[in-house]
Every structure is written in structure tokens, then in C-alpha cells.
Amino acid sequence: MFIKPLSLTIAFLLCIMPAAHGQNVDSPPPCSAPEFRQLDFWVGDWNLWYDQGPNKPKGTAHNSITKDEYGACVITERFSMPGFTGTSLSIFHKGTGLWRQTWVDDSGNYFDLAGGPAPEGADFDFYLEQVHPKGMTSRHLRMIWQIKDEDNLVWRWQGRKTDQEDWQDLWVLYYERATDG
């Protein structure tokens, strides 16, 4: 009785050991290709503000973007503002050559987005567009980043009803890198 579980354990270990030890010392670490660095401009702690309309004070928010939880492979976002919080996970997907992001928040929203560096000639630097599953007829949504410098960028949440329409800003956030002290 003891032999069978022991032999299964040994067989399991023999199967995983080559995978664990079989990595060539000269092999690059996971997610070290340049494509995995394309969204690094966003990593950091950011103070945000946005226009709430005429005769209203600026709205404020905070966004903390890290690569700590999953190493160099995944970018984790933690967004907060009065009455609203959300988080996202973003990763470069080698199979499609696109960045993928999953967003969820405390309002019950879920977004599946895909994109990457902006096409040549665009007035923005990076984008992620909502993935529309077959049969989905809701508004098309995307986010774009416009990099001003390493400490300032503009993020725009945009929408349009059809592929033929121009994108319209739905929400514009002005990012300023948070400084200590």
C-alpha cells in the first residue's frame, strides 16, 4: 500500500525535475523580450485629476501601477477615487502579439481589452480597445495614453457606436507622477 503512493510521488518528481532544472542558464528570463516593456511608461504611483464640468472643482484620483506581484510579466493597476475603486491586470500575449488587459471594479464593471503601441501617425502612444465577443452590440470602447514626458501623461477613455464613427472622449484623466516628500 505504501509503495504505490511513493512510486507515484517519485514519478511526479521525475517529471517536473527536468522542467525545473532543464532551463538553460543562458536562456533569457520569462517576459524579458522588448515587447514586455512597451507599457512600462505607466508603471509608478500617479496623482490624477479630471474636469467635472463648468463651475465644479477638479476631480481627483490615484493610480498605483506595479510589476511587483507577478514579476516582469504582469502589470497590476489599483485605481481609487472617492466612491469608486478598480483594478486591472495587463500582460503582453506572445501568441497574438497584443497586450491584453482585464479590468474589474466595485461598480460591477468588467472589461476585456486588447491593443498595444499606437499605429504610425496616431496622435497617441498606446491603446487598448474593448474586445467585442460575437453578438455584442454595445458601444465600442477604448483607452489611449498620450505620453507628455516621463512624469506626465494623458489617459482618455473613448467610445463610438460603430466602426465608422470617430472616437469621442468620455473621460480624460491627467496623470502626474507622485513624488515623495
Q: What does the domain layout of the chain look like in residue ranges?
A: 31-177
Alpha-carbon dihedral sign for residues 57, 53, 166, 106: positive
pTM (2 d.p.):
0.81
Tell whether the model's pLDDT for residue 18 goes beyond 50: no
Q: What is the pLDDT of residues 47-99, one digit of tens each?
A: 999 998 889 999 999 999 999 888 889 999 999 999 999 999 999 999 999 99
CA-based radius of gyration for the chain:
21
Q: H or E element: which one contains 14?
A: helix 3-21
pLDDT 10s digits, 100-139: 999 999 999 999 999 999 999 999 999 999 997 777 777 8
| Class in CATH terms, 31-177 | mainly beta
**CA–CA separation, 143 and 128 (whole Å):** 5
